[in-house]
Amino acid sequence: MIILKFLLLFAGTLLVASIIGFAILKSVTIAQHQKYLQNSISLIELKKVENLQEYIKKVSQATGLRVTIVSEDGNVLAESQSDVSNMDNHSSRYEISKASKDSFAHDIRESKTLNTDFLYVAKKVSYRDGSIYIRLSMSLEDIMSEFYSLFFLLFLSFLFMFALAFYISKKMSEKISYDIVQITNYLDEITKKNYSAVIKIEYFYEFLQIALIVKNLVKKLHSKDKLKRKK
């Protein structure tokens, strides 16, 4: 019963740890990719670029990232995965409006153009006589596929730990049961006044202490029994 309660407690702890680990690992994975996009933006140099569309196509092919160039008034100047003529003004996009105030801005939402969730990171940079926004993004599905792979490995490690704990608990339970049976059998013999019965505790020191106390008690009972017979 004690072992069962221990296993239930251990399983509950693993479940809570899995839920917390899921949330933390997801947050860390997204944060790492966000940092990667920020670093990638910092490496993009547009000062000598004449054709933005051709340049970002090359950047996209080299990095596998979606690249968007947005003018200061929100018009899309170049896009690596979509036709610019079909894209709306981006001035109201959170990452664009926020990038006008902060060094980097990011957001996670569904792309109206591609109908899939993206992680966006944008930065305002100088270009020629004005400013433009460089926005890098990657599919959230791609990010989460990496996350699920990591979490699956973590979950497998939890299962292994649980299986190991179950095995150890089972072996411990068998040893506890053995020692308890030895004490029980010994007490049964004593009730039959077999004072010469032997008790064998093999695994746990605590049970050995109990056995010694019982043996001392049996000696006293045996002595009293002898005195009663003499009388």
In a domain, 154, yes or no: no
Mean pLDDT of the chain: 82
Question: Which phi and psi angles does 21 have, rounded to 5°?
Answer: -65, -40
pLDDT at 140: 85
CB hemisphere CA count around 2 (13 angstroms): 6
* SS3 state of residue 174: helix
**Can you tell me the distance from the alpha carbon of 198 to that of 215, in angstroms, rounded to the nearest whole number?**
9
pLDDT for 105 equals 93
Max Cα distance, the chain (Å) = 121
Task: Let me know if residue 57 belongs to a domain.
Answer: yes
Residue 162 near residue 186, CB atoms below 8 Å:
no
Shared domain check, 174 and 108: no
Neighbouring-strand partners of residue 121: 106, 136
Could you say which DSSP state residue 93 is in? S
| Domain containing residue 136 | 2-145
Cα atoms in the Cβ-side hemisphere of radius 13 Å centred on 57: 7
pTM of the entire predicted model: 0.64
Indicate whether 230 pLDDT > 60.
no
What per-residue confidence (pLDDT) applies to 164? Answer: 84
Q: Same structural domain for residues 139 and 172?
A: no
- pLDDT for 110: 83
pLDDT at 53 over 80: yes
- pLDDT band, residue 172 (cuts 50/70/90): confident
Question: Distance between CA 87 and CA 174 in Å, rounded?
Answer: 70
| pLDDT at residue 57 tops 90 | yes
Q: Kindly state whether residues 107 and 175 are assigned to the same domain.
A: no
In sequence order, the 6+-apart residues with CB closer than 8 A to the CB of 104 are 38, 41, 121, 122, 123
Q: Lowest-confidence range among 13-17, 49-53, 219-223?
A: 219-223
- Beta bridge pairs of residue 69: 78, 134
Quote the pLDDT of residue 224.
66
Beta-carbon contacts of 20 under 8 Å, excluding residues fewer than 6 positions away, are: none
The answer on pLDDT for 206 being more than 80 is no
Q: Specify if 157 maps to a domain.
A: no
Give the CA dihedral 38, 123, 96, 141, nearest 10 degrees. -20
pLDDT-based confidence at 3, cuts 50/70/90? low
User: Residue 1: is its pLDDT beyond 70?
Assistant: no
Higher pLDDT, 101 or 228: 101
- Do 31 and 141 lie in a common domain? yes
